Every structure is written in C-alpha cells, then in structure tokens.
Amino acid sequence: MLDQARKILKEVYGYPSFKGGQEMIIQSILQGADTLGIMPTGGGKSVCYQIPALLFPGTAIVISPLISLMKDQVDALNSLGLAATFINSSLSNAEVEERMKNAGRGKYKLVYVAPERLDSNRFLAGINTLPVSLLAVDEAHCVSQWGHDFRPSFLSVAALINELPRRPVVTAFTATATEEVRKDIVNLLSLERPNVYVTGFNRENLTFSVIRGEDKRDCITSFLKHHREHAGIIYAATRKEVDNLHKFLCKKGYAAGRYHAGLSDEERTSSQERFLYDDIRVMVATNAFGMGIDKSNVRYVIHHNMPKNVEAYYQEAGRAGRDDGPGDCILLFNPQDIRIQKFLIEQSILAPERRTNEYRKLQAIVDYCHTQKCLRKYILQYFGEESAGAECGNCGNCLDHAEYKDITVEAQKIFSCILRVKEQFGVTTVAEILKGSQNKKMAQYGFQRLSTYGLLKKMTVKQITGLINMLVAEGYIQITEGEYPLARLRPVAFSVLKGQEKVLQKVREKEQKVAADNTLFEQLRNLRKEISQKEGVPPYIIFHDSTLQEMCERCPTDRMSMLSVKGVGQAKFNRYGELFLELIRKHFAE
C-alpha cells in the first residue's frame, strides 16, 4: 500500500517524495496501528491522514478544532478532485442532515467534524451508521489540560471511539507537545499501543529574533517598510492593543485587518477572508486568530508582546513559512509584558497546580527573551530535543556579531545583593535596592542599610532588571515558581563571586533585510489572485507561494516540465496548468 501512497502523493498532490517523517507515519497507519505524530507546523500533518483515508475503505472522520481550519482543508481537497466535507456550527440542521445522508451513501472519503459536535446524541447516532475506517484528531494537544489550548470538548473523542460498532485506526497529530502533553494525548484519546513519531520540531526556514528595549511601533514600521508586499501576522496581548495598533498601521497606509474576540462575527469573518484572499497583507490579532489558518504564504509573524509560554509562541510563530519559504519570527519584548501575562494567569480559573505550571512556563519564555545563546536551539531543547546540535547560525543571536562586554563586576553586585536579602525577594526589589530607590519598601525593610544599596545607581531600574533577567536566562540565577517568584543563586554564580568565572554580555546590533524584486513571481501571484476571485477560494488553495517560486526558478514551458514542479499534480495542471504556462511563456517572450 505504501507504493500506492507514493503514487497518490505524486499524481494527486504533485509532490515527488514525502517530507521527513511522513512516510513512516503513513506506513504505520496503513498497517493498522494507532499512531501519534508530533510534526512541526508546515511538516505536512494533513497528508499523513488524508492519504491513508483515500486508501482505506469507508469514511475517515477528522476531529478538527476550528471552523476555518475545516473549510480550508475541505477547499484544498476539493481543488484536488477529492470528495470531502465538514460538519460544524456554521451549517443549518438541514445542511447537517443532508451531509450525513451523503456520507452514509459513501459520497465522502473524509468528513471533518468539530469536537463540540460529539456532545450531540443525534449526531453520534448518525456516525455509528457510517463505515468509519480511520479517525484522525488534529491539534491533539487540545485534549491535555497541560497543553496551551486545552479544549474540554476533546475529551469526548475517547467516548466516540468506544461507541463505534467497529474500532477504527486512531491517529493524532500536533506540532507542539512536551513529553507531559504527549502522555496525556495517548491516555485521554485511548490510543492502543500507539506508534509515536516525533519527527522533530525544527523549522529551518524560519529566522527567530528577539528585540528588547526599543520602541515597538518603530520596529514594526521599519520592518513593514521593507516587506510591504508580504503577508504577515502581528500578535498583540490584548484587544485594546490590537485596536490601537491596527488604527496606527491603517493611518500609515498599510492594508491591515484586525481580529479579536471583542469584534462581531461578521467583522472577524470579513477580516479573515480578506487576509486569506490577499486583499489585506497584515493581520493584527490576539491569539484568538490563527490555529485554524492554513494560509501558506505568511512571510512573517511579529509578536508585539511576549506570549504566555514557549508552546504558544512556537505555534503562533510557526504560521510563517508553511510553504517552506523563508519566514521571519520577531518577538518585541518589554518588561511590562511579564506583568500582563501574570495578570492573565491570575484572572484565569485555574486549579492551583495548573497555575503553578503556567508560572513555570511563563518563566521559560522570559528566559527565551533574554538568552544570549542560539534561539532555535533554546526552543528545540525546550521541547526535549537534547541533541539539538550546534548553534543554527540563522537566528537573531547567531547573526549578531557584536563584541562581548565584560559585566563580571555588575553581575557580582547583583549576586551579592541577592545574598544580602537572603534570597527572599524578587527581581524588581533587587533592582530597586541596587538602584538606590527611595520608595517605602526600601525604608520598611531597612534595605538602605545594605552594603549593596545603590551600587548600580548609574543604571535605571529597567536596565538592572533586564540585566538580572539575562543572568536568569544564562543559568546564573534561579527564579522560583508562583505568583511572587524569588531570585536565588545557582552554583555557578558563586564561582563568579569568587572571581573564578567571568560574565560576558553581547551589545546588540540592528540589522535590516531588504526584500528582493521578482517581476515574474508578482505576475504569477496576480494570475493566481484572479483565478481565486473567480472560484471563490483563497489564492494558496490554487498554488502555494513556494510552487510559484519554483515556477520562476525552473521556468516550465510544457506539460511535463510543469508537472515536475512541486505542488503541481495532475488535477491542478488540468485546471490551471495552461494558464500559468501561457503567462510564463509570455513573460520570457517579452
């Protein structure tokens, strides 16, 4: 059956070979084994269950968390000539009944279902009549309360599996799952002796960078100036920040949309559709936007605020470069971001143990924002890839070739201050002591009498706090968990105090990238846009940016050479091939 899978990949999807990990996951499923696939965003998770669904008899049920995700997947499958549909709250009862009847007649190979639909006994009765051969759970981390997008409705999946007349092959996929979350997925979805494949979390096409202590709007406008024609997402922590930043960009003349839970359904849908169809280039949004967005040509993701944890950041940043093209992932950090995230944790209704876990994860993303080491390696090690290898050479830290500054004396003063307060206070208090602040807390605790009081008075509290956070990220200081974390020294800090170790800090340099001009690429994008408007589907459903880019590089002039371009299968060529060939021929004739 694996040979048939390869044939479908080439003839239907238009790709000559599987991506890393896809083939072994598909083989596991085809052999009838429950399978858990941990694959990076853009790694081709959907192909891993779609191809077995086409080869298995009967119908495949796909549990998918968002309406937009289902629509995108079904649109893409239909464009390939494959029979698929979705069932969710966007349909009327009559439409649901009609689609269920058609499913019972064998009209669809794949039926996408929202997890909330599993709470309907009427719907479950309908599912029980179908010959379900495969059940796939997308975004499977949503089943775990330790995951960053916990959805209680996912807990109903196990009950569905147990109620089906014949147990299907069960598969689950996610891009971001720690070891703790993986165990939850296996247990809570009732996977039986599953094959677990972690194909790696690395996204080599993405460039990560963190910018600290600079005006965020200046950073954004400077970046957009050189990327005006590219599609991108800017994430902000609150609705108010989304509204203000959206208004600011529109005044600057950028085609920007906004998305957050405070907008009407109509406005959210309109913004999302305009972004998918390339009518607007920039989407300013809270984290309510994105998990179901399969837009392949997002070239950058900017975080206006630090997100709540590394999992959320990597999933949101990973929406760039889904077509394997380059993507910039920029995090703009300000100390105020930490306070915002702490407030959001406290406002959430969480069990004490989960709140503690959220604070631990928050500290990990704070460390990411302050580390001087390779950013890619930090992320990979966070997800358990201890053999992450050498520095990537392609993140903001690796590309920063500035000189190192010896800050051993400043570090010794900080470490000494932490010891003087007996490791019983947090970062801000330590910074205020070193600054020589005159607030009530200094007098209340007698901090003015400490020998370390005012030792860094030439620095601002903000600068001292940033320095302490860098020392935390580099492993000199430990921050305890909880709402009121304390700063404590790690063993290596005592070596610095004794003069046995030096502490170095990089002085950051600013770098700017200039977008390349590509006339043929723009012409191909314009043609794709015209077709998408006629057919009523997003442009990337027709061809990904990476496919258009390969057309520019290979310059196909006939059917065979066009079919050798990745992403051009037989069905796509029959529908669009001649139109794109004609444009390429015309371009070179001119």
| pLDDT tier at 282, thresholds 50, 70, 90 | very high
Can you give the CATH number for the domain in which 471 is found?
A: 1.10.10.10
Instruction: Answer yes or no: is 396 within a domain.
Output: no
Q: What gap in Å lies between CA 467 and CA 485, rounded to an integer?
A: 17
Residues 211 and 182 in one domain: no
Do 539 and 474 fall within a single domain? no
pLDDT tens digits along 490-504: 999 999 999 888 988
21 domain-assigned: yes
Separation in Å, CA 57 to CA 74, 100, 194, 404, 443? 19, 17, 21, 62, 77
Tokens coding 518: 């590509």
Q: With bands split at pLDDT 50, 70 and 90, how would you rate the model's confidence at 518?
A: low
Q: Which of the four pLDDT bands, split at 50, 70 and 90, describes residue 464?
A: very high
What is the token pair recorded at 53? Answer: 């669904």
CA distance 41 to 310: 14
Residue 303: beta bridge partners? 235, 331
| Predicted pLDDT of residue 386 | 66
Helices (H), 253-404: 265-276, 310-317, 336-347, 352-370, 375-382
Considering the domain architecture, whether residues 315 and 296 belong to the same structural domain is answered as yes
Residue that finishes a domain, picked among 352, 382, 412: 382
Q: Indicate whether 388 belongs to any domain.
A: no
Q: Is 326 within 8 Å of 299 (Cβ atoms)?
A: yes
pLDDT band at 516 (very low <50, low <70, confident <90, very high): very low
Q: Does one domain contain both 15 and 157?
A: yes
Residues 64 and 160 in one domain: yes
Q: Is residue 395 part of a domain?
A: no
Q: Tell whether 171 and 235 lie within a shared domain.
A: no
Q: Both 357 and 212 in a single domain?
A: yes
Band (517; pLDDT cuts 50, 70, 90): very low
Is residue 229 in a domain? yes
Q: What is the mean pLDDT of residues 292-310?
A: 87
Q: How far apart are CA 359 and CA 458, in angstroms?
A: 32
Domain assignment of residue 393, yes or no: no
Domain at 256, CATH number: 3.40.50.300
Sorted by sequence, the CB contacts under 8 Å of residue 586 that are 6+ apart come out as none
Looking at residue 583, which CATH number applies to its domain? Answer: 1.10.150.80
Which pLDDT score is estimated for 388?
57
Q: Reply yes or no on whether the pLDDT at 468 is more than 80.
A: yes
Range(s) of the domain holding residue 6: 2-198
CB 287 within 8 Å of CB 316: yes
How many CA atoms, within 13 angstroms, populate the side-chain half-sphere of residue 313? 32
With beta carbons less than 8 A apart as the criterion, state whether 10 and 16 touch.
Answer: yes
User: Do 214 and 187 have their domain in common?
Assistant: no
Task: Give how many domains the chain has, as a whole number.
Answer: 4
Whether residues 437 and 558 fall in one domain: no
- pLDDT for the residue numbered 146: 73
**Do 23 and 89 have their domain in common?**
yes
Does 420 lie in the same domain as 475?
A: yes
Among 166-170, 261-265, 535-539, which range has the highest average pLDDT?
Answer: 166-170
- Regarding whether 373 and 419 lie in a shared domain, the answer is no
